[in-house]
Amino acid sequence: MTGAAPMLVARNLTKQFGSFTALQDVSLDISPGEVLCIIGPSGSGKSTFLRCLNQLERLDGGAVWIDGELIGYRRVGDKLHPLSDAEVARQRLATGMVFQRFNLFQHMTALQNIVEGPITVQKRPRAEVMAEALALLDRVGLADKRDAYPAQLSGGQQQRVAIARALAMKPKLMLFDEPTSALDPELVGEVLAVMRGLAGSGMTMIVVTHELGFAREVGHRVVFMDRGAVVEAGSPQQILSNPQQARTRDFITAVLN
């Protein structure tokens, strides 16, 4: 978290939905290996922020660089040319995304979900991909579920497969959008355990979460967002135990009770 070139730079991100401003001038940098947790009330723009980072939403203002590469545009002199569908798809390989509602491919087994990207998109050799996928399934504790369809898995198991699917692409940066919010309380722990392990392995992660315990324990930095803007950012200790802003304090009190 020191000195090294940032993994991600987001400058003055702005996003409008019609006349509604979902993101207003959001700037954030993330260093390699850093785990950044984003907290904030519903509708504050946390998902929108993540979706702008991997271009599921198009920005109305500002710019994002991932590992030094400008996202969504090619710069020619003083002009920015929007990238084509294929070029955007290639840039998305730098980020892995884990969704609140898992979004596993319903017609594929756990193993097929994991190997789909490396084989179809990255065109890597099948045997090699299979071996890695089995190792990933093992890592998320689901080696015995390789042939199960998503509909046969619990929410926690589906989310762990989804994490393995994202990791199979070997991304530089992992984005988690409330990965445990759709889970029954007793299943939250198994997913957080996988994420904790991932953070321990040095993965750069941005995690939108309501799990303040996870943010405190695993996060290197916590950002509080409200109404499309960053209200306060700092160490987990600062933000969670000693927030400076009234809005942050109110939110944390509300979540803890």
Ligand X SMILES: Nc1ncnc2c1ncn2[C@@H]1O[C@H](COP(=O)(O)OP(=O)(O)OP(=O)(O)O)[C@@H](O)[C@H]1O
Q: Is 237 exposed, middle or buried (0-12, 13-18, 19+ CB in 10 A)?
A: exposed
Q: Please, what is the minimum distance in Å from the beta carbon of residue 35 to other proteins?
A: 20
Q: Site mask, ligand X, residues 1-40, x = CB under 6 A?
A: ----------------x--x-x-----------------x
Buried residues in 158-181 as b, exposed as e (16+ CB within 10 A) = bbbbbbbbbbbbebebbbbbbbbe
Q: Residue ranges of the alpha helices (H) in 117-240?
A: 126-139, 155-167, 185-200, 212-218, 236
Out of 42, 106, 120, 257, which residue is the one contacting ligand X (CB under 6 A)? 42
Question: Is residue 48 a contact residue for Mg ion (CB under 5 A)?
Answer: no
The owner of tokens 């090699």 is: 128
Question: Is residue 255 a contact residue for ligand X (CB under 6 A)?
Answer: no
Give the SS3 label for residue 139.
helix
Q: Sign (positive/negative) of CA torsion 101, 107, 110, 114?
A: negative
Q: Which long-range contacts (CB under 8 A, 24 or more apart) does 81-90 make?
A: 88/55, 89/121
Question: Is residue 105 a contact residue for other proteins (CB under 8 A)?
Answer: yes
User: In this structure, what token pair is assigned to residue 161?
Assistant: 């497969």
Question: Is residue 47 a contact residue for Mg ion (CB under 5 A)?
Answer: yes
Nearer to Mg ion by C-beta: 49 or 115? 49
What is the spatial distance between Cα 85 and Cα 90, in angstroms, rounded to a whole number?
A: 9
Question: Is residue 244 a contact residue for other proteins (CB under 8 A)?
Answer: no
Question: Is residue 145 a contact residue for ligand X (CB under 6 A)?
Answer: no
Q: How many residues does the chain have?
A: 257
Q: Please, what is the minimum distance in Å from the beta carbon of residue 164 to Mg ion?
A: 22
168: amino acid identity, one letter = A
Pick the stretch among 43-51, 79-87, 146-154, 236-244 that binds Mg ion (CB under 5 A).
43-51
Question: Is residue 246 a contact residue for other proteins (CB under 8 A)?
Answer: no
Q: Which does 157 bind (CB under 5 to 8 A by kind): other proteins, ligand X, Mg ion, none?
A: none
Footprint of Mg ion (CB under 5 A): 47
Name the site residues for ligand X (rule: CB under 6 A).
Answer: 17, 20, 22, 40, 42-48
Binding site for other proteins (CB under 8 A): 54, 56, 85-86, 89-90, 92-93, 95-97, 99, 101, 103-109, 116-117, 120-122, 144-145, 147-152, 162, 165-166, 169
